[in-house]
Structure 1
């Protein structure tokens, strides 16, 4: 038998196997008997409580407690007592006459409220960045909160030339506290409507993460893990006939009227002015970046994890090349790469489709094959929730933990995992549960195949004009911290999309191709170093 025919047979077997696994997992959809109807009404009241709480396990509770400890919580009745960027002050600590590349720069922020009173507690969400538009350069800062209204923002001066400073009060501590409490209220910000299909008939049915209907419901859950999605069971329609789900914003808010002004556009991401101008940086010593090793799995990523110069992301702990097409093919040869996540993860898949014309694409399952180089790429969405104006086809959306459990693993297998954007308008306990279910699946994968490569793509920033209650970058930042905390005990690599998008000054849920290219180049370094 010729080599070409062997490759074609291999691809056919791979397709059949994936379809068969999808069928087996969808058999897990079951009908649940009627449950008690809860009389909880969704109203614009921050005291509304969920009737369907997730009971966290010990390891999940530890993560929630750690994250909660970083957030100031309190109540207020007057927005004039909230942090004001215009009244606050930023000052360079220990200013120098001369700055050199590699030097540290610390700026102190003293926070004041709208009445001009000194703040006595912390918790403000500050986005810090240094930049130089001429050099296409940028770097995030690290904010140190003293919990008394004073902050130190730490920067490293990475490049020679002008350095401009941006300190944005993205949310006051009062807004942060409000968002944190509101997110803990309920699932009611987003509605889910499923469509069941039986031959030439279809019917729509309410769905969601709460099992609170007097009617029979269909439960969709992973094989391992308590992470269920429900739809009201419709007569003459099997639970497995759920085909699509569509979401929409409910006319609901968990913000009190006194809290809503905190999220007016003029109070979001406001510049904190400093008593300084731009800084001139000189080269006073030889650069050490050329001595850095190539990025590899197992390296620890510090804060900040890198910077941008000449539109190229430069990690502070490793180096990676700008991959050519030939190098991409060589790196991916004989590999099976599974991309798991949302549309920001699909951007990676589509980027490779565009850059590697030898790939032949299939839409269901979503995969790309190059039989000449024995390459197979898979994209799998992370299953419910998908918060999008478009109808989402659920038959290809299996629980990520189930997908991982059906991967054999080995030295030629690569998994890339991303979770975040679609979970922002839902209770944080749901996100923690999903992350830990995936974490446990990766643990099981390493037990059977410790040489499998796993890369975490962190969540990225998004539009500043988004609905803050549902999609604020504060929610994204908390989720970013949760993922980093959850996976720190496993031998995985991280592509820090959060730091990258801040450095690039990106305010797009789908970053520009320039940003994606840098993410992909770092990914290649991890899997081929």
Structure 2
């Protein structure tokens, strides 16, 4: 019995030793992989958050019902605190910052709604890198900003108060005023050349009696365009239309008070906040130093999250390839690419026209090929067309040249070698949000019809980007502020929520931290990286 007891005791001790060693080995393995897990958890969380945004309506700003001018967020007093400043950061970690909004004399605010722009930039000469911080509004005057640490080296935090919540409140109110831009159309008698020009409206005008209207609206596409009826010409005589910048400016500026104007001027406007540390934060290389290969960009993989490394956009979720000329030709071989939207999408077709290259033959091709064309060697065709009114262009535009996106989708045959890219945002920032939302509803339905009759058709919808603000002129903020554009981006995410028929090309984050200057028509660095994102979904391998 004694011998058995001793053997049992020895066995117990040995078992305990094995358990301890195993536990130590397991904990060591856990420690080695912990940063990698944190990295991928962050990426997964951000990806899931993006899907959540696509599944849920946009979160309404944490705004009060009234504008408290004496509590306007003051950049001078607003506090930016780096949490865990002394932590030893590695590539793959997440740097967290708290922003405490304060108003005059440093008093803390009790409500949210401020619109920030957060960036992380490399403090070293190489690599010249930048990324976007993701802001969470806690609706109590405090905000959390998370920066994924994509690269090793010294990094600096840049947080800009684009608009205080009080200015956002003004933008929100002014946006919902219909018909605040002035449009007009000319009516021409073909025989007599008699001309009459009248005012036109992008929304229903209840003050204009039906008998005095030329209603060009198309309910089946949720498109509205109404003009005052000319005295002696029929509605069918409509010829050209234009946006009147002078009259539009007067109408828009008349919607705000002098006190509200101050909210959209310095020192509240686009002010950089002072961070609690002036020294850059040092980021060590990841442990282990190499990350697993990213998956291909597919229908359920958004390439929106990532960072700039030099002039290349590096997605953190899927493999965005860098396409040289030959790779572009191979990717688009035997394909037809239809692009319809605004001039920010026209940049894409013009870029392809030069790179592929594409030939435009005015004797055999219509105007949709003007910024595109054909390449007979690779059997590539690119066609571009502007979306329908409201179009904010000062030049006269032939009305019959425009058609709604829905009509274009319904007329498309589609198929595995057909690619469709849509972009509607820049000309809708001045309109009530419901106008673009209803237009997108009709577009989504048309996409579903197209996919049912031609399942292999690939459809992409891109979001908006940041832009320049014309030297701080008030009317540009009231009709084209980045806050207005971001709300449309949120609507696009919502509208095509996890829609298996559509890939949302989310270009917002990459524009926030872009290497070049903000511009509605960005430089080639942005255009090429946006095209790389598109092509990586078309040709993931």
* Corresponding residue for residue 518 of structure 1: 529
Partners of 1:297 and 1:172 in 2: CA distance: 37
Matching of residue 242 in structure 1 with residue 238 in structure 2: yes
Q: 1:296 to 1:287 in 2, by over 3 A?
A: farther
Partners of 2:77 and 2:163 in 1: CA distance: 14
Partners of 1:64 and 1:196 in 2: CA distance: 45
* Corresponding residue for residue 217 of structure 1: 213
- The range that moved more, 244-253 or 408-417, is 244-253
Aligned-partner SS, 1:263: coil
- The range that moved more, 474-483 or 212-221, is 212-221
Q: TM-score, normalised by structure 2?
A: 0.81
* Corresponding residue for residue 21 of structure 1: none
The question of whether the paired residues in 2 share the 8 Å contact of 1:81 and 1:113 is answered with: yes
Aligned-partner SS, 1:109: strand
* Corresponding residue for residue 20 of structure 2: none
Deviation at 1:289, TM superposition (A): 5.1
The question of whether the paired residues in 2 share the 8 Å contact of 1:74 and 1:174 is answered with: no
Aligned-partner SS, 1:366: helix
The question of whether the paired residues in 2 share the 8 Å contact of 1:81 and 1:115 is answered with: no
Q: 1:516 to 1:99 in 2, by over 3 A?
A: same
Aligned-partner SS, 1:435: helix
1:175 to 167, 182, 198: 167
1:376 to 373, 381, 405: 381
Partners of 1:406 and 1:257 in 2: CA distance: 50
1:67 to 44, 54, 58: 58
Matching of residue 430 in structure 1 with residue 435 in structure 2: yes
* Corresponding residue for residue 196 of structure 2: 203
* Corresponding residue for residue 422 of structure 2: 417
Q: TM-score, normalised by structure 1?
A: 0.83
* Corresponding residue for residue 294 of structure 1: 296
Partners of 1:130 and 1:243 in 2: CA distance: 50
Q: 1:223 to 1:432 in 2, by over 3 A?
A: closer
Aligned-partner SS, 1:193: strand
Q: CA RMSD in A?
A: 2.3
* Corresponding residue for residue 59 of structure 1: none
* Corresponding residue for residue 227 of structure 2: 231
1:132 to 122, 130, 145: 122
- State the Cα deviation string for residues 370-415 of structure 1 (Å, max 9, x = none): 2332222111111111112232333221011111111121111111
Structure 2 unmatched ranges of 5 or more: 1-52
Matched ranges for 1:104-115 at <5 A? 104-115=94-105
The question of whether the paired residues in 1 share the 8 Å contact of 2:306 and 2:314 is answered with: yes
* Corresponding residue for residue 501 of structure 1: 511
1:475 to 465, 474, 484: 484
- State the Cα deviation string for residues 423-466 of structure 1 (Å, max 9, x = none): 11111111111121211111222222222111122111111435
Matching of residue 82 in structure 1 with residue 82 in structure 2: no
The question of whether the paired residues in 1 share the 8 Å contact of 2:335 and 2:419 is answered with: yes
Partners of 2:464 and 2:392 in 1: CA distance: 16
Deviation at 1:510, TM superposition (A): 0.4
* Corresponding residue for residue 403 of structure 2: 398
Aligned-partner SS, 1:163: strand
Deviation at 1:294, TM superposition (A): 2.4
Matching of residue 116 in structure 1 with residue 106 in structure 2: yes
The question of whether the paired residues in 2 share the 8 Å contact of 1:77 and 1:258 is answered with: no
- The range that moved more, 348-357 or 501-510, is 501-510
- State the Cα deviation string for residues 35-67 of structure 1 (Å, max 9, x = none): xxxxxxxxxxxxxxxxxxxxxxxxxxx999943
* Corresponding residue for residue 100 of structure 1: 90
Aligned-partner SS, 1:511: coil
Structure 1 unmatched ranges of 5 or more: 1-61
Partners of 1:349 and 1:63 in 2: CA distance: 27
Aligned-partner SS, 1:158: coil
Partners of 1:397 and 1:388 in 2: CA distance: 13
Partners of 1:350 and 1:91 in 2: CA distance: 44
Partners of 1:109 and 1:411 in 2: CA distance: 48
Give the paired residue count: 464
Partners of 2:149 and 2:114 in 1: CA distance: 24
1:457 to 448, 462, 474: 462
Q: 1:92 to 1:461 in 2, by over 3 A?
A: same
Structure whose CA Rg is larger: 2
